[in-house]
Amino acid sequence: MTQSVRTRLSPAERREQLLDLGVRLLATRSLDELSIDLLAEEAGISRGLLYHYFGSKHDFREAVVRRAADDLIAQTAPPVDGEPEERLLVSMAAYLDYVVANYEGYLSLVKGAASGNAALRAIYEEARAALTDRIFREDAGNQILPDTPAVRLVVRGWSAMTEELVLTWKVEPNGVTREELIGILAGSLRPLVEATLLQP
């Protein structure tokens, strides 16, 4: 049955399906643990076929990480309607849940990007830029976030802070609840920007 479904997929569809599987495997594993062998075993197909789809181990990992970054951006999209603060709250809740659900893979991406792996760094930076740009785009007319170099810098810093908060909380929640943390993540942006605009 599985076989008959599989054979009806085009090569492009099959590749997408394998990428999805790679992302799922990455949720509970580091990038170093994500191998062609593992994917072959989980997908029930040959290593040779996987090399046909992905070229090399590095290309495969890069493709999986790129897909994971796209998933993160899609899943944290704020709702279309609602007050700005409420929409940011929904987006940050999705971010928190994404990082918690994909902790091992996310952490290994952060580490890989920081350690100077150029391909991972590029994907990480692109994703961060997309998330930051969206923050500015979502603020119609830039009423809350004037688009100045200082505010751009601070939004980037806020982004690094939210990542640190979620990764630390995942390991040591110390009694801080999910709701409290989401409130901190979303509620910190506006005061930070206001404090920035107070600078002469």
Nearer to its own copies, 9 or 150 (CB): 150
Binding of its own copies by 10 (CB under 8 A)? no
Let me know the angle formed at the C-alpha of 30 by 115 and 43, rounded to the nearest 5 degrees.
Answer: 135
Nearer to its own copies, 47 or 58 (CB): 58
Give the Cα separation of 113 and 28 in Å (integer): 18
Least Å distance, CB 191 to its own copies, is 4
Least Å distance, CB 194 to its own copies, is 7
Q: What is the x/- site pattern for its own copies, positions 105-144, by CB under 8 A?
A: -----xxx-xxx----------------------------
Instruction: Provide the residue count of the chain.
Output: 200
- Using CB under 8 A, which of 76, 91, 102, 196 touches its own copies? 196
Least Å distance, CB 43 to its own copies, is 28
Give the Cα separation of 58 and 31 in Å (integer): 10
Reference 144, options 200, 107, 191; nearest CA is 191
Give per-residue burial for 76-98: e unless 16+ CB within 10 Å, then b.
Answer: bebeeeeebeebbbbbbbbbbeb
Reference 156, options 121, 118, 192, 184; nearest CA is 192
Binding of its own copies by 199 (CB under 8 A)? yes
Rg of the chain over CA atoms, in angstroms? 19
Q: What φ, ψ does residue 144 adopt, rounded to 5°?
A: -90, -35
Least Å distance, CB 17 to its own copies, is 31
Which residues inside 63-102 make contact with its own copies, applying CB under 8 A?
none
Binding of its own copies by 171 (CB under 8 A)? no
Which residues inside 148-167 make contact with its own copies, applying CB under 8 A?
149-150, 152-154, 156-165
> Binding residues for its own copies, per CB under 8 A?
110-112, 114-116, 149-150, 152-154, 156-165, 168-169, 174-176, 179-181, 183-184, 187-188, 190-192, 194-196, 198-200
